Structure 1
Amino acid sequence: MNNQNQNKVQNPETPVPKTPQMNERDFINDLLSTEKYMKSSYDTAINEASHQELYQDILSIYNETADMQRNLYNLMFQKGWYSLEKAETQKISQSHQQFTDYENQFPYSLH
């Protein structure tokens, strides 16, 4: 087994028909892409909303969209259609140090 496979986190893949027609995986992947696009668009709308009630309404929809995006991602991961790569301890330490260095550059403390 090569090192890349040892670092992969994935559930057993749920089989889907290999036909020209869209299958369950295709539909869910399409929904996930749509939710990601909508979430990004709502994010822009939130940043540009000048009216407080409109801001609150869009924020509520944004949160629902973010939850749906997460649920679709979890479903795809559960069915083995989405995989992750384990982070190496050294890379985590390097990233932590990098952001600690950035934090130390701020004129105020985030603690």
Structure 2
Amino acid sequence: MTFSNKIENPQTPPPEKQTFNDNEILRAAIATERNFCNSYTTAMLGASHEKLYKLIFEMLKDAAQQHRKLVDLQFQHGWLSLTPAPSEEVKALEKEFRDAEKQLK
């Protein structure tokens, strides 16, 4: 027995011209570099051979540097703003970190 009724949704026509602005392209590049860093970290930690570990580590450093440059570019264009933390908060977090570090020793 063959059914002749098709089940489908109405087709949505694609936009004539879809463009991304510079900020969107930059955000996509930053996300890509972040994903590279995460993947390289996972691969590096699983590398069983020293040369492979060093190679992946260099790739991680390169990706991290590129990520940093892209974030700087985003900041230069005014698409990213930073709010400085109060110095008391920074000092409290630093103390908390130092205390936790002492416990690990």
Q: TM-score surpassing 0.5?
A: yes
Which AA in structure 2 matches 1:97? K
From the superposition, tell whether residues 88 and 64 of structure 1 become closer, same or farther in structure 2 (CA, over 3 Å): same
Residue of structure 1 aligned with 2:97, choices 96, 99, 105: 99
Q: Which is greater in Rg?
A: 2
**Which of 38, 49, 68 is the aligned partner of 2:66?**
68
1:31 aligned residue (14, 29, 32): 29
Deviation at 1:77, TM superposition (A): 0.6
Q: Which runs of 5+ in 1 are unaligned?
A: 1-19
RMSD (Å), alpha carbons = 1.3
Task: Work out the CA distance in 2 between the residues paired with 1:52 and 1:98.
Answer: 35
| Stretch of structure 1 that moved more, 96-105 or 66-75 | 96-105
Taking the aligned partners of 1:55 and 1:97, their CA distance within structure 2 comes to: 33
Q: TM-score when scaled to structure 2?
A: 0.77
CA distance in 1 between counterparts of 2:97 and 2:61 reads: 27
Q: Report the counterpart of residue 84 of structure 2 in structure 1.
A: 86
Following TM superposition, where does structure 1 have runs of at least 4 consecutive aligned residues deviating by more than 2 angstroms?
none
Q: Please state whether the residue corresponding to 2:85 is helix, strand or coil.
A: coil
Instruction: Report deviation, 1:85.
Output: 1.0
TM superposition shift of 1:100: 2.4
Structure 1 residues 47-88: Cα deviation after superposition (integer angstroms, max 9, x where no partner): 000011111111111111111101101100111111111110
Structure 2 counterpart of 1:56: 54
Q: 2:90, 2:102 → 1: CA distance?
A: 18
Q: Which moved more, 1:33-42 or 1:81-90?
A: 81-90
